[in-house]
Amino acid sequence: MSSPKEPSINGGVNSEQPSNSTHEQSEPPLSKNKLKKLIRDRKWEEGREKRKELRKIKAKERKERKRATRHSDAFLEPTADKRKASVEAEVDEVKKPKHPNSVQLPVAFVIDCAFDDLMRDGERTSLASQVTRSYSDNHKAPFRSHLFISSFGGNLKQRFDTVLSAHHHNWKDVKFSESDFESAASQAAEVMKTDCGGQLSGAFRKYRTNKEAEAMSTSGEVVYLTSDSPETLTELRPYSTYIIGGIVDKNRHKGICYKSAMDRGVKTAKLPIGDYMKMTSRFVLATNHVVEIMLRWLEVGDWGRAFIEVIPQRKGGILKDGIAVLEEPSGTTTQDAEVDDGPPGQDQGEEDTCLEKDADEVSMKSPPREGLKSKEEPQP
């Protein structure tokens, strides 16, 4: 005869409970797509060393083929055309420097990477490529800016440290920071006040004769570039900092960069693309394209030329009627600058950023010439 069950403290009857629940402790099963991705990534990582060895073998074979070709050509009498081409190539190689001089200007670009949790894995991969390309373009530009990467952390930083082999630690003239873009802008302002802040050259050459040139070093502004802004950026100004939203989201999070800037009380503006270009489709800019456009402007001082040379032709963009571009750069040469060597970046594809605008939404006003211009301001 079984004994009666002992009552519980709160009046109930104790029931036998299993000490461990296997069902509660087990993780939810992964989807087929997730499993395939994990297997693919694992195989890719396992084959990393094999691919590295294969690249070395192919490089060695190419060198041997070139050596054999030069050896066989040495026994052949060169024709007059070949001798002339060889002499011209040697002369050009002597005249052309291996690396062009690069002039540091007193202006800063900040890539705001505070949106790591809003992106998918593939989108973070694209952003990492765009940051790499932005560094490369700035590093080898005739007139370069101070470059800052703010809010650098999370999965994006993990990718740089692992998959990209932490090569960013060897980058020159770039500052990575876990702080937000406001902190990076403050650092940039301090750097631009120092002797290494840069010189007024390129498109900034016109400020050399300005009596207020010294005062400009303390009056630089901070501008967050976003297509949702009612203001239009018409020129870059010395000792100013321009923030670019580092996000690839396929337009899922509309207005997030503008909201981020407004919450901090930071001035916003959009590039004057609609004032110069007509587009046949929805206009999308990658982060590195924005950086490259502004670097080109620092060299030539002309938005139309910068847009037409940087924006991919597949976008179908053409200059508006009546818009002329400068034939020659307005800036100075870089012969007096120091040679700045560094590894080139990787050319990567483009993705959505906070600087995107539909073709039917861009302003149709004439190109402004100075300062920031509001949409509501009447046209002359």
Positions marked catalytic: 249
Enumerate helices (H) and strands (E) in the chain, giving the number of each: 12, 10
Q: Which residues of 252-284 are buried (b: 16+ CB within 10 A; e: fewer)?
A: ebeebbbebbbeeebebbbbbbbbbbebeeebb
Measured in whole angstroms, the distance separating CA 320 from the mean position of its chain's CA atoms is 27
Q: If DSSP codes are grouped into helix, strand and coil, which group holds residue 131?
A: helix
With vertex at residue 124, the alpha carbon angle to CA 232 and CA 169, rounded to the nearest 5 degrees, is 95
Q: What 8-state DSSP symbol labels residue 146? A: E
Both tokens of 159, joined, read 């990718």
**In what helix (H) or strand (E) does residue 299 lie, and over which residues does it extend?**
helix 287-300
Q: Which residues contact 44 (CB under 8 A, 6 or more apart)?
A: none
- Calpha distance 181→71 (Å, rounded): 57
The amino acid at residue 315 is K
Handedness of CA 259, 261, 263, 265 (dihedral sign): negative
Q: Which residues of 192-229 are buried (b: 16+ CB within 10 A; e: fewer)?
A: beeeebbbbbbbbeebeeeeeeeebeeebebbbbbbbb
Helix/strand/coil percentages in the chain, nearest 5? 40, 15, 45
